[in-house]
Amino acid sequence: MLYNFIKKIDKKIHFSTVSAHCDIPCKIYDPIIAQLAVLTMIRMVDLLDEFKNKNEMSINDHATFSRLVAQKESHGKQVKDEITVIWGDFIKTPQLEKYPELHELVHSIMLVTSSVKQHIDKNTALDLLDKVNRFAEIYWQCKGVNTYTAVCPYPPAQPVIYPALTQ
């Protein structure tokens, strides 16, 4: 109960964070999880948009609608989780000095993700993908890995930043 109370306060005033930094598992970071989550959100928006053309909703339609909204919600949470973990655990002073836009970018990702969760708006979802792609681009640049942009070979067929890994 006390934890939940503190958590509610945290949501209002945002306590400072302290890192229980670890070496072995925490070096495994990859923004692709966040990128896939955004693509899922866009796909869910596309599928939800199809309901606009329906005059009547059957029970099955209602069930499908609910499932799509739930997926959009959960993947929005995943976007936030993945981005904040990389931002909080991987990004440090050298990266911030090189990419001073990072704090603003991460904050705007949080805000736009909330907006995509709240609405069924393709443009906002695409805006989120742009921001998360930019975050991924910066991440790979920090790792010294070149990137390229390609349209993902599955719906929603949007441009995604990929690392140009070599053998």
Partner 1 sequence: MSFLGLKIWKVTGHSMFPRIPQHSYILSWHWYAINKIKPNQTILIDHPEYGLLIKTVAIIDKNHFIWCKGENLSSISVEKLGPVSKKQIIGRVLKVFIKPHNVTSITLHK
Count of positions on this chain that bind partner 1 (CB under 8 A): 26
What the block records as the tokens of 147 is 């990137």
Among 12, 17, 150, 164, binds partner 1 (CB under 8 A): 17
Tell whether residue 13 is a contact of partner 1 (CB under 8 A).
yes
Q: Which two tokens stand for residue 124?
A: 């906002």
Q: How far is the CB of 84 from partner 1 (least distance, A)?
A: 8
CA 69 to chain centre: 16
119: nearest Cα among 55, 65, 45: 45
Question: What are the backbone angles phi and psi of residue 87, rounded to the nearest 5°?
Answer: -65, -45
C-alpha count within 13 angstroms, C-beta hemisphere, residue 41: 34
CB of 57 to partner 1, least distance (A): 37
The piece of 16-24, 71-79, 106-114, 134-142 that touches partner 1 (CB under 8 A) is: 16-24
156 prior amide bond cis, ω within 30: yes
Beta bridge partners of 162: 148
Among 1, 59, 164, 165, binds partner 1 (CB under 8 A): 1
> x/- contact string, 70-109, with partner 1 (CB under 8 A)?
---------------x--xx--xx----------------
Interface residues toward partner 1, by CB under 8 A: 1-4, 6-7, 9-10, 13, 15-26, 85, 88-89, 92-93
